Amino acid sequence: MTEAITLVVNGVHHELEVEPRRMLVQVIREDLDLTGTHIGCDTSQCGACTVLVDGQAVKSCTMLAVQADGSSITTIEGMANDGQLHPLQVGFWEKHGLQCGFCTPGMIMAAADLLARNPDPTDQEIRHAIEGNVCRCTGYQNIVAAIREAASLMAAGGTSAGAAG
Amino acid sequence: MATTDVLGARIKRREDPRFITGGGNYLDDIKLPGMTHAVVLRSPYAHARIRSIDTSAARTMPGVLAVYAGQDLAGVNALPCAWAAGGVQNNLNTPRVLAIDTVRWTGDGVAMVVAETREQAVDAAEAISVDYEPLPAVVDAEKATAPGAPQLHENAPNNVCMHWTVGDAEGTARAIESAEIVVRQRIVNQRLIPNPMETRGAIGRWDPGTDEYTIWMTSQAPHVMRLLIAAFVLGVPEHKIRCISPDVGGGFGSKIFLYADMVLTAWASKQLGGRPVKFVETRRENYLATTHGRDHITDLEVAGTKDGTITALRVRTKANLGAYLSTIAPGIPTTLYGRLLSGVYAIPNIYCEVDGIYTNTAMVDAYRGAGRPEATYVVERAVDLFAREAGLDPAEVRRRNFIPPDAFPYQPAVLIGQAGYGLPYDSGNYRPALERALEMAGYTNLAAAKAEARARGKYLGAGISSYIEICGVAPSKWIGLPGEGWGAGLWESANIRMHLTGKVVVTTGSQNHGQGHETTMAQIVAAELGVPFEDVLVEHSDTQGTPFGYGTYGSRSAAVGGVAAQKAALKIKEKARRLAAHMLEASPDDVVFEAGRFYVKGSPDKVKTVQEVALAASVGYDLPEGMEPFLDETAYYDPPNCTFPFGTHVAIVEVDEETGAVDLVRYVGVDDVGRKINPMIVDGQLHGGIVQGVGQALWEGAVYGDDGQLLSGSMLDYALPRASWLPTFELDETVTPSPVNPLGVKGAGEAGTIGSAAAVVNAVVDALSPFGIRHLDMPLSAPKVWRAIHASEVQS
Ligand code: FES
Ligand code: FES
């Protein structure tokens, strides 16, 4: 038995038939082939699967696809605009905010949510905002620096993180 | 950027654009036509006999293509242990790809289902019924050797797998007996779960047309996996197997080893006529069945004089190896542990005994640092215990015992291996790193800082750790010696092809899973050839198309793999020089190379660029007599020695008396990793390494119940460090180039982890010294610290 749902993902409209038990992350990765969103755990702890649902960071492994019906979703693949990297992507690249890259999409999405709410966060606010995202490689040092960098790029360039969401 | 500046530059990473846009290609992202999905049914018991397995119901479930139990794979050999160091001979026990009669740890695989979808495979696995006869289990290395303990393997009485010693037993005993001060302490280096953010997995595909296997794997060492699968497990020759590591989401050692699923997926694909079979672990399976690290129980004795000279260190360690031997398990608590027990100190007498023990737990093998963090923890705790007993400042005791800078190369007796082959510490100057770290940490104002914290209801402590690491683990002559090493080399290789347009393709046998090889290897080659960094492409991690390499671990990719790439570039340059001479109508001896240009000595206007030479070599119609066309060179590099980075870390903590909570308020590190290829990447390696050691000191720990159930079996129960628990690190460097290799690099991948756990524990113990507490075992969780404060006789 499947249910019909509608999702707008990275600006593209999708009509989908999904089993009610399928998680949003499965639909994103398997049905839509957007494999930038990762799965790192089975207890909603790691944040590797974080996407924006109607502008808010959500762990897509904890949301059923049917719950997302009608919503607008941004994944890491939707962050760059016309080949122009999002300031967070620039920040992560500039500040070496990633090593293996596995946590990175989720980190960037969690940070996008933060910067939309708080365009000029302190280091402590950044650290709290990404508490639900585990990175095993970087020790978070350069992730904090990357998000700070993105905040100043956005302040300088007037780009709002909300635009991505 | 001038091409000559490329080495040592903070160049942004080549690999990042794909990762920051979601374009990475990790194992689970791979979709192949006809893909099937495998799920492994795992034992719920830590120790049990399998009476029978009934797979009949599972076979009839929707979408199920096959169900296999251990018997079905009786013709497939057990996985090999490639490093039977430490005297493991007649009691070497390694896992089968699926257990046949007996399961020996919770998570041991007993059956595998292959189905059209993963969900169908999960459902079918639940329909398999296994009749187990539970047996008593033992999870603790000490209890496992006690009389009457459950026995895991018939050939290993008392569960002892190996007994290994290093050093001078008699001399050390005499020095301890006659010493003015002797301190004894039991310390536990708890079991850790590596937790790369990407779990492990494999996709096997057999090609019916060619009888060849392709195995995609989340491996740090695809060439070695091919070798092991071919030579030991499947009996299929190497040239019929291709191993590919796609993008790999971290490893930290746990992805070095040969795992059952690599073999199972390939084997099953053949049974299924060539349909690809994908297996991806869940996180829970990663906790249960991927290798763990550490797990030592150690009794240490440190002895010396009242004025602070350490004269002897004696160490007895029980190393828990788990239920079977993983690929290189015996080498970790022996060669990579006992041989580092001199640390950065000139300790005249050292003796170490290690017992490797089987228990009903997941296999233990290398985890970031692999033996060296355990050794450093012993040494650095011993120094602090000794300083405390002598009533001296721990910094002063370190100064007094450091190997002096004029003593290099310095040969610690414990690093003289079998057959008298010794590895001297290559270079070092330990005091400047210590002094700089103390200065940054404000160590001289410690008393005032403690008083200030007390006024806020906190106990402040500072902890020092002056570590040394063995990096660039290689010399084949050393690591290959049976008994000491693993009967094979650890050289690395690289191939460079310079194409017609002057663009360069480097293939390396090293494997990149976050370390940035695509960037740093390109920096090395661009600098050597004098070509733009952008013109150099680095390919890796596919046994088809890259030269053999032993893989990435042991902080060896720069110091071994990087040097191989440099050597290949030198060969290219040498051939190009001969061709340039031909083009310039000069004698090769008169042609010099500078920044990508060849010119005739004395006439710098007669020039051929390396790109022009590459074009001439490629079109190849006007070459000197006997020269082969094309610039294409392969180099193999086997270094004469390891490298020995070092440094001093200082942790400052505050302990809350009311709750026992430990707050890491500052972390200072001064590291000397030799010359740096890309300092930005080195910093990143240090950061991540430090946090893994801090994690061990304060939060992490694998916990088994006495019945062998893994209680810390999910991310909810195993405390991985979070961003908000950590301060911003304060790092500085000293630079003592390594004389071992022409790049002068040492290595940095594990340094942070090796140094940090002891720094943090020393700090917490210092903070708790007003309570008379002289040692606490990791992790220093709030309840543990609170209990220690409240159990203390001394009320501050
Ligand atoms: S996959 Fe770990 S939180 Fe979603
Ligand atoms: S970069 Fe590897 S987990 Fe964050």
Same-domain pairing of A55 and A101: no
Confirm whether A109 is domain-assigned.
yes
State the average pLDDT over residues A101-113: 98
Q: Residue B317 in contact with residue B167, Cβ under 8 Å?
A: no
Which one of 3.40.630.30, 3.30.365.10, 3.40.50.2300, 3.40.50.1390 gives the CATH number of domain B293-474+641-791?
Answer: 3.30.365.10
**pLDDT value at residue A158:** 57
pLDDT tens for A4-15 read 999 999 999 999
Confirm whether A165 is domain-assigned.
no
**pLDDT value at residue B391:** 97
**Has residue B482 got a pLDDT over 90?**
no
Per-position DSSP letters for B313-366, written without gaps between them? EEEEEEEEEESS--TTGGGTTTTTTGGGTTTTB--SEEEEEEEEEE-SS--B--
**Has residue A161 got a pLDDT over 60?**
no
Q: How confident is the model at residue B796 (pLDDT cuts 50, 70, 90)?
A: low
Same-domain pairing of A92 and A111: yes
Residue in A63, A91, A106 with CA at minimum distance from that of residue A152: A91
Helix (H) or strand (E) holding B295: strand B293-304
Per-window interface: B 733-762 vs A, CB < 8 A? 752
**Has residue B247 got a pLDDT over 90?**
yes
Same-domain pairing of A64 and A110: no
Average pLDDT score, chain B: 95
Measured from the Cα of A132, ligand 1's closest atom is 3
State the average pLDDT over residues B418-446: 93
Of A95-109, B81-95, B318-332, B690-704, minimum mean pLDDT range: B81-95
Contact A96 B684 (CB under 8 A): yes
CATH number of the domain encompassing residue A142: 1.10.150.120
Measured from the Cα of A40, ligand 2's closest atom is 3
Higher pLDDT, B3 or A2: A2
Of A159-163, B304-308, B467-471, B545-549, minimum mean pLDDT range: A159-163
Confirm whether A148 is domain-assigned.
yes
Measured from the Cα of B249, ligand 2's closest atom is 2
The residues facing B350 across adjacent strands are B313
Minimal Cα–Cα distance from A128 to chain B, Å? 5
Same-domain pairing of A42 and A23: yes
Helix axes B430-441, B394-401, angle to 10 degrees: 170
- In chain B, CATH 3.90.1170.50 covers 34-135+200-280
Higher pLDDT, B95 or B479: B95
**Has residue A164 got a pLDDT over 70?**
no
Q: How confident is the model at residue B792 (pLDDT cuts 50, 70, 90)?
A: confident
Confirm whether A35 is domain-assigned.
yes
CATH number of the domain encompassing residue A66: 3.10.20.30
Place of tokens 């308020």: B665
Q: How confident is the model at residue B89 (pLDDT cuts 50, 70, 90)?
A: confident
Same-domain pairing of A70 and A30: yes
CATH code at B34-135+200-280: 3.90.1170.50
Phi, psi dihedrals of residue B62, rounded to the nearest 5°: -60, 135
Same-domain pairing of A72 and A24: yes
State the average pLDDT over residues A134-150: 98
Per cent of chain B over pLDDT 90 is 88
Same-domain pairing of A62 and A104: no
Q: How confident is the model at residue B4 (pLDDT cuts 50, 70, 90)?
A: low
Looking from the CA of B703 toward its CB, the CA atoms found within 13 Å total 14
State the average pLDDT over residues A138-159: 93
**Has residue B486 got a pLDDT over 80?**
no
A162 touches chain B (CB under 8 A): no
Q: Indicate the DSSP class of residue B52.
A: E
Contact A99 B515 (CB under 8 A): yes
Minimal Cα–Cα distance from B28 to chain A, Å? 9
Q: Could you give the angle at the alpha carbon of B739 between the alpha carbons of B733 and B742, nearest 5°? A: 100
Q: Indicate the DSSP class of residue B744.
A: -
Query: Mapping DSSP to helix (H, G, I), strand (E, B) and coil, where does residue B207 land?
Result: strand
How many whole angstroms separate alpha carbon A10 and alpha carbon A12?
A: 6
| Ligand 2 contact, B447 CB (< 6 A) | no
Q: How confident is the model at residue B83 (pLDDT cuts 50, 70, 90)?
A: confident
**pLDDT value at residue B472:** 82
Confirm whether A31 is domain-assigned.
yes
User: A37 is in which domain, residue-wise?
Assistant: 3-77
**pLDDT value at residue B558:** 82
**pLDDT value at residue B795:** 60
Tokens of B256: 């070095």
How many whole angstroms separate alpha carbon B573 and alpha carbon B770?
A: 64
Higher pLDDT, B3 or B84: B84
**pLDDT value at residue A165:** 35
Number of domains chain A contains: 2
**pLDDT value at residue A100:** 97
State the average pLDDT over residues B109-122: 97
Q: How many residues does chain A have?
A: 165
**pLDDT value at residue A162:** 43
Reported ipTM: 0.96
Same-domain pairing of A125 and A144: yes
Tokens of B689: 């390494």
B24 touches chain A (CB under 8 A): yes
How many whole angstroms separate alpha carbon B17 and alpha carbon B2?
A: 23
Confirm whether A162 is domain-assigned.
no
Place of tokens 């450093």: B376
Same-domain pairing of A124 and A146: yes
The residues facing B600 across adjacent strands are B591, B603
Residue A75: list chain B partners with CB under 8 A. 22
Contacts of B456 (CB under 8 A, 6+ apart): none
pLDDT tens for B393-417 read 999 999 999 999 999 999 999 998 7
Contact A101 B516 (CB under 8 A): no
**Has residue B549 got a pLDDT over 90?**
no
Q: Residue B21 in contact with residue A89, Cβ under 8 Å?
A: yes
- In chain B, CATH 3.30.365.10 covers 3-22+491-637, 293-474+641-791
A53 touches chain B (CB under 8 A): no
pLDDT tens for B615-644 read 999 999 999 999 999 999 999 999 999 999
From A77, A102, A137, the end of a domain falls on A77
Residue A60: left if φ>0, alpha if ψ -120 to 50, beta else—which one? alpha
Confirm whether A163 is domain-assigned.
no
Contacts of A141 (CB under 8 A, 6+ apart): B683, B684, B687, B726, B728, B729
A48 touches chain B (CB under 8 A): yes
Tokens of B334: 């022996």
pLDDT tens for B69-80 read 999 999 999 999
From A77, A106, A134, the end of a domain falls on A77
Q: Residue B709 in contact with residue B106, Cβ under 8 Å?
A: yes
How many whole angstroms separate alpha carbon B294 and alpha carbon B281?
A: 22
**Has residue A126 got a pLDDT over 90?**
yes
Strands B293-304 and B181-192, sheet pairing: antiparallel
From A77, A105, A125, the end of a domain falls on A77
Q: Which fold has domain B3-22+491-637?
A: Aldehyde Oxidoreductase; domain 4 (3.30.365)
How many whole angstroms separate alpha carbon B413 and alpha carbon B229?
A: 37
Place of tokens 């129980």: B297
Neighbours of B146 (CB within 10 A): 11
Same-domain pairing of A94 and A148: yes
Contact B692 A136 (CB under 8 A): yes
Helix axes A141-157, A87-94, angle to 10 degrees: 140
Per-window interface: A 59-88 vs B, CB < 8 A? 75-77, 79-80, 85
Confirm whether A72 is domain-assigned.
yes
Q: Residue B496 in contact with residue B568, Cβ under 8 Å?
A: yes
A114 touches chain B (CB under 8 A): no
